[in-house]
Amino acid sequence: MPKKLFQQWLSNSDHGQFKKAASYFGDFSHDPNLWHINRRSVVRAIAIGLFTAFMPVPVQMLVAAALAVIFAAYLPIAVVLVWITNPITMPVFFYWAYHLGAYLLDVQAEPIQVEMSFNWLFTQLLHRWQPFLVGCLCAGALVGGIGAGLVNIYWRYHVSKAWKKRSILHKLKAKNRLRRSRHHSE
């Protein structure tokens, strides 16, 4: 079952750390959907986490946590998923987002020569912020929507498969009981 998969993925010690950190949200952090794994809260968390991963802000985890509280999503997954954009993967994702934004805005994407400094960041971003921001928002919405959709489909498929298996087993047990009762009555 998908629920067991997510429970194995996040250990109980991680769960306690998330609850402690979420206490900063006050009474909002007591919503059961923030801490219980169910299809709706996990799907929301995946959409939020993947969308937030594409936000070009330094506090992605806080944004993901706030959105998880607002939309009653499973908080640990929403916060953990923002780490798909980390210092190693961020240049690739943001380069793709910039080109997506340039395409959507019908603007010529300029070649970028990356230099890791705040001066470079501010001078380059000053000229390219519109396609970059549009690309980040669209890429986040696209990847978040696809990720949430795939998990929703997988979860429903898995539950449907389990119900069918359960139904077959139930029918077999009923047949065996009927056979035994006929055998005893003879």
Contact (CB, 8 A) for 6 and 77: yes
Tokens of 144: 């978040």
Higher pLDDT, 134 or 18: 134
pLDDT for 45-91, tens place per residue?
999 999 999 998 888 999 999 999 889 898 899 999 999 988 888 88
Is it the case that residue 105 has pLDDT exceeding 50? yes
Confidence of residue 17 (pLDDT cuts 50, 70, 90): low
Q: Rounded distance, CA 7 to CA 37, Å?
A: 8
Q: How many CB atoms lie within 10 A of CB 166?
A: 10
Rounded to two decimals, the pTM is: 0.70
Q: Which residue do the tokens 């998330």 mark? A: 18
Q: Return the structure tokens found at 168.
A: 């077959």
* pLDDT (0 to 100) of residue 13: 47
Q: What is the largest CA-CA distance in the chain?
A: 93
Per-residue pLDDT at 54: 92
The predicted model gives 85-109 an average pLDDT of 87
Q: What is the pLDDT of residues 118-177, one digit of tens each?
A: 676 677 777 778 888 899 999 999 999 999 999 999 988 988 888 888 777 777 777 777
pLDDT of residue 26: 56
Query: Quick check: helix, strand or coil at residue 66?
Result: helix
Q: Please tell me the distance from the alpha carbon of residue 101 to that of residue 51, in angstroms, as a whole number.
A: 15
The encoded tokens of residue 37 equal 């794994």
The kind and range of the H/E element at 14 are helix 12-22
Calculate mean pLDDT across residues 88-108. Answer: 87
Mean predicted confidence (pLDDT) in 101-121: 76
Q: What average pLDDT does the segment 86-106 reach?
A: 87
Angle at 37 between CA 150 and CA 76, to 5 degrees: 85
